Amino acid sequence: MATPAAAQEFDGHLKARQGMFRIMAINLGIIGDMAKGDTEYDAEQATMAADNLHAVSMINPLILFPEGSDAEAIDGTRALPAIWENTDDVGSKWADLGEAVSGLQEVAGDGREALGPALGPVGNACKACHDEYRASE
Ligand code: ASC
């Protein structure tokens, strides 16, 4: 574990990147619940949520992952050191997420039935990164 000073140095980065993922989970949840029929479909809400996902996907995540802010160096993160050994792959997986989210954004206003098929690639993109670069809880 790194010194408390190092952990403190990255406190803002951890908050920012975890907040970024939380924003995505909340917006994905809104669309996911509609797709499942747990909440009533609302074209405006679905579009707003998809637009938010797209906005977050436009952030370059590497800025929020400075060297030394991995789970082996500091507490409070599940970011595996493999991220820093594979930044090209991380960037490519993030781009895949962006493409999947654009697909969702295109159909979010088209009715409940359109959501499920467009959510699949988004979920796969989330999972692809988590499988390789996030520690299990
Ligand atoms: C979510 C969430 C994730 C992804 C993932 C998709 O809503 O919090 O981590 O979707 O489960 O595979």
For residue 81, CA distances in Å to 35, 84, 114, 135 come to 35, 6, 37, 10
Q: Ligand 1 test: best mutation among 17, 22, 26, 28, most atoms within 8 Å of CB?
A: 28
> Does the structure show a pLDDT above 60 at 22?
yes
> Does the structure show a pLDDT above 80 at 6?
no
> What pLDDT band is residue 1 in, cutting at 50, 70 and 90?
low
Distance 56 CA to ligand 1 centre (A): 15
28 CB within 6 A, ligand 1: yes
Query: What pLDDT digit, counting tens, does each position of 116-137 carry?
Result: 999 999 999 999 999 999 999 8
Query: What pLDDT digit, counting tens, does each position of 72-113 carry?
Result: 999 999 999 999 999 999 999 999 999 999 999 999 999 999
Q: Which residues contact 1 (CB under 8 A, 6 or more apart)?
A: 73, 74, 75
Distance 5 CA to ligand 1 centre (A): 32
> Does the structure show a pLDDT above 60 at 2?
no
Higher-confidence position of 6 and 95: 95
Query: What pLDDT digit, counting tens, does each position of 28-61 carry?
Result: 999 999 999 999 999 999 999 999 999 999 999 9
Distance 129 CA to ligand 1 centre (A): 11
Distance 124 CA to ligand 1 centre (A): 9
- pTM for the full predicted model: 0.93
